[in-house]
Structure 1
């Protein structure tokens, strides 16, 4: 005669593992699917079976739980509704972040442009104050290269009547658009003593 001795603690573990048959209903199965991990009693059974060299045999989940779990929002889990919600959140964030980033880039480009063109306005100031005449071309105010590269943006400048500086953008946020600096003479008596510059454009909206 042969027999095996099962200690109370082991008996308790086996009894706990047997509870896996009680968690195969709809709600228990749904909870397991949404949690993305098996019930503890199933895990205990798996450990005991593997320790004894057996393949764990788990009861099947309720098939209707799979249907609802497919639409349940959970991350991770890849439920259809979960993916929809995730994409909706990402879409909202992009809808807010992308325009804000574009405004930031536009501001940075305009700031770089204003700093780079300050010397052009100063050149017009110096020439007109010294000669009391408007310059006729860029060469008269010392601008030998009308093309400039400012980061991702290129600009070209032309000199119009009455000292107007007209810039054309290529690349960047203002590709193909134009901007003008228009000088307003300031007088001391009959002589021009300085200029107040105005920035104007017909196709660039104010960057706020």
Structure 2
């Protein structure tokens, strides 16, 4: 039985390639400083997540051979069925959520079963295996481990939500693999749909007929921009897998695909997960704006000054030739045959003037105080040879051409 949903691997590969390129561009664009921010972000996340793990260990009931042996046996057997060799720690927790979750802290995996689920399925305890298997799917497929690396692609329209939905379909398949009957799968998903008591009287056939309604524009649009497939589809595909049947789901509305292309993924309908994603995106963009853009501006200025240097350094040879011929320094650029003093070039901009003792001053810019910024070419007349040196005035050394530093 293939437990991986048909589209997950291809969506993962596309997301991994895109994320790798984006991370590389960000690291290069911020000259590696992004690593510092990522490290700080990880430390903040570690402390925040530790609060939940500490609460879980201090409040929840750990499932062991001595504590709820039936659940522990179900966990061990489910791990064997889906190939998870390292049995994760499992806890029972009282919350207002009707579901289960898997999480990871410092390399250790945890599964949390909520008491409402167990209470609802008290008459059909084997259905709990679906929840256990689903969370084992996240662990076995390492969805938690890849989450941070895939973040850049995860916020992209269509692609990010599509990968998340594919992961959910995969984990549902793991849940099915841990169940012994279609009735267990029906009970597990029916309890999510109809509640802790009404699920027992739910008409599954009528519920599955609602799948046809998902083809409409609004249903399609909200699914394409969401992290989870509609529960009706999840039940239909899970039951089909249990019964070894092929299933064809309704095609989504064409206009919904087009509009969803402009909606980035924010996660879980804009809840806490989405807020975290948005804050991380803003933080990354802030780093780029604060570091990468000034660095790029410095790079372009440095390249411009290097170009000016290449265009004006030849004037030193002209001054040398004038000195050798007339045995005196030229007084102005017009002495060298130029039409005016100063000599002005527009693109790139620079202005060249001659000063005492043959010194050439090339104004390349003005600073915030309005003072000129110059490349200075200074001759040293020692004996019969003139040696030129280049330096900067009011210019940061890192912006100067290499020969002027």
TM-score by length of 1: 0.61
User: Could you tell me which residue of structure 2 aligns to residue 122 of structure 1?
Assistant: 317
User: Could you tell me which residue of structure 2 aligns to residue 104 of structure 1?
Assistant: 299
Aligned equivalents of 1:178 and 1:107: distance in 2?
13
Question: 1:31-180 to 2 correspondence within 5 Å?
Answer: 36-38=227-229, 42-45=233-236, 70-72=271-273, 79-145=274-340, 146-151=343-348, 154-170=349-365, 177-179=372-374, 180=376
The size of the alignment, in residue pairs, is 159
- Which residues of structure 2 form unaligned runs of 5+? 1-180, 196-222, 238-246, 251-267, 400-405
User: Could you tell me which residue of structure 2 aligns to residue 184 of structure 1?
Assistant: 380
Aligned equivalents of 1:127 and 1:48: distance in 2?
88
SS of corresponding position for 1:182:
strand
1:177–1:204: 8 Å Cα contact kept in structure 2?
A: no
Aligned equivalents of 1:100 and 1:186: distance in 2?
41
Q: What's the offset of the Cα at 1:143? A: 2.2
Greater strand content: 1
User: Could you tell me which residue of structure 1 aligns to residue 139 of structure 2?
Assistant: none
Is 1:196 the counterpart of 2:388? The answer is yes
2:359–2:378: 8 Å Cα contact kept in structure 1?
A: yes
Aligned equivalents of 1:94 and 1:22: distance in 2?
48
Larger of the two Rg values belongs to structure = 1
In structure 2, relative to structure 1, the CA distance for the partners of 1:142 and 1:197 (3 Å cut) is farther
SS of corresponding position for 1:199:
strand
Aligned equivalents of 1:142 and 1:14: distance in 2?
98
SS of corresponding position for 2:378:
strand
* Superposed CA RMSD: 3.7
Is 1:20 the counterpart of 2:218? The answer is no
In structure 2, relative to structure 1, the CA distance for the partners of 1:48 and 1:165 (3 Å cut) is closer
Aligned equivalents of 2:249 and 2:317: distance in 1?
87
Greater helix content: 2
In structure 2, relative to structure 1, the CA distance for the partners of 1:122 and 1:19 (3 Å cut) is same
User: Could you tell me which residue of structure 2 aligns to residue 205 of structure 1?
Assistant: 396
